[in-house]
Amino acid sequence: MPINEVGNGFALIGGSMGFKTLQSPGANIRELGRVETPFGSSQPLYLLVDNGLIYMSRHGIHGYEVSAPFVNYRANIWALKELGVERIIAWSGPASMDELLDIGEIVVPADVIDETKARKYTFYENLGLGFIRQNPAFCPCISEALVQVCVERFGRCASDRVYVCTEGPRLETVAEIRKYKMFGGNLVGMTLVPEAFLAKELEMCYAPLCYITNYAEGVRTREFRPGVLFEGLLDDNERHAVDAAVAALPEIAVAAMELLSNKPRDCKCGKSMERYRRRGDIGDDWRTWITVGEK
Ligand SMILES: [Zn+2]
């Protein structure tokens, strides 16, 4: 496809139930296709015509076609950059290790612990670039807007929790959950790493918007039920709460985007590579920062 800058500079990365959620009657969605990148094909991109938001489903548009360890995060983030996206809201449905959070509750995590094992973590393989500070881990401006929207809508929004990103696709053992809690983790999922770090490497703002899908192993006693999602970690009432949360996510993202679009982008995310720029290591065209296979 021809690469054009479309949309309004905002993107929403959705999870396995994302695309279905957007297809409400009357929704005006334009298919933009996949972007071919130096790292392979991205997932298909869509423009929500009514509000200018770019949408991408990281696991594929029909559901969970690609599990978290095998998502091509580099191609997806590259594709969003190519379309002129500057600010990304990324949704994820982690489990909670924290009993104070309800199933279906919307949470804006404050930080992330990387417990993944075998992913492609950087655009800058063998290039001497990418020594980037991670405090804050996520864009404070987007996070603040998401929290504001959620508080207005739900009366509260946990914004100090830590997301532990595991490799998957298997779920965690009881002992692993105990370890992550000792680390200070509250949520456990499989998708924010390396997505968040790759976005920062290309100087994009990125913040997660999470909904709690279930309690992590060992937090509540749950019988093993073969053949159902999460094999019994989630009961039917909780399932309804999760569905309601997922249905609310696009509206929350759009409302946050509207809040942000009235403000200048005054966070530091757009300066992640400034040291390399000043040193003359990189030029104005971000595509030239990455030279695959050389050196
Ligand atoms: Zn930012």
Tell me how far the alpha carbon of residue 139 lies from the centroid of ligand 1, in angstroms: 4
Rounded distance from Cα 126 to ligand 1 centre (Å): 27
What is d(CA 292, CA 295) in angstroms, rounded to the nearest whole number? 9
pLDDT value of position 18: 65
pLDDT at 25: 65
Alpha helices, DSSP H, located in the chain: 18-22, 73-82, 140-154, 174-182, 195-201, 236-261, 274-278
List domains and CATH numbers for the chain. Answer: 10-277 (3.40.50.1580)
User: Measuring CA to CA, which residue among 209, 159, 208 is closest to residue 186?
Assistant: 159
More confident residue, 238 or 82: 82
**pLDDT at 2 (0 to 100):** 39
Mean pLDDT over 68-79 rounds to 97
What is the model's pLDDT at position 228? 77
Q: How confident is the model at residue 294 (pLDDT cuts 50, 70, 90)?
A: low
- The phi and psi torsions of 9 (rounded to 5 degrees) equal 90, 0
- In this prediction, residue 27 carries a pLDDT of 79
The string of pLDDT tens digits covering residues 234-283 is 788 888 999 999 999 999 999 999 999 988 888 999 999 999 999 999 99
CA 85 from centroid of its chain's CA atoms: 14
pLDDT band at residue 3, thresholds of 50, 70 and 90? very low
Q: How far is the CA of 254 from the centre of ligand 1 (A)?
A: 17
Centre of ligand 1 from the C-alpha of residue 259, in Å = 14
The pTM score is 0.94
Largest CA distance in the chain: 59
Position 238 scores a pLDDT of 87
Residue 292 has pLDDT above 80, yes or no: no
pLDDT value of position 236: 80
Q: How far is the CA of 208 from the centre of ligand 1 (A)?
A: 12
Q: How far is the CA of 209 from the centre of ligand 1 (A)?
A: 15
What digits encode the pLDDT tens for the residues 126-163?
A: 888 999 999 999 999 999 999 999 999 999 999 999 99
Which tops the pLDDT comparison, 295 or 192?
192
Q: From ligand 1's centre to the CA of 265, what distance in Å?
A: 7
Residues 201, 130: Cα–Cα separation, whole Å: 7
pLDDT band per the 50, 70, 90 thresholds, residue 295: very low
Q: How far is the CA of 121 from the centre of ligand 1 (A)?
A: 20
**What's the whole-number mean pLDDT along residues 28-42?**
94
Q: What pLDDT, on a 0 to 100 scale, did the predictor assign at position 1? A: 38
Span 160-174, pLDDT tens digits: 999 999 999 999 999
Identify the band that residue 230 occupies on the pLDDT scale cut at 50, 70 and 90: confident
The predicted structure's pLDDT at residue 17: 65
**d(CA 201, ligand 1 centre) in Å:** 12
Q: 285: which residues sit within 8 A by CB, 6+ positions away?
A: none
Give the distance (Å) from ligand 1 centre to CA of residue 218: 36
Strands ordered across the beta sheet of 45-48:
29-33, 45-48, 53-57, 10-14, 87-92, 205-211, 106-107
Give the Cα separation of 272 and 93 in Å (integer): 27
How many residues are present in the chain? 295
C-alpha 176/C-alpha 232 separation (Å) is 19
With a pLDDT cut of 90, the percent of the chain lying above it is 76
How much of the chain, in percent, has pLDDT values that exceed 70? 94
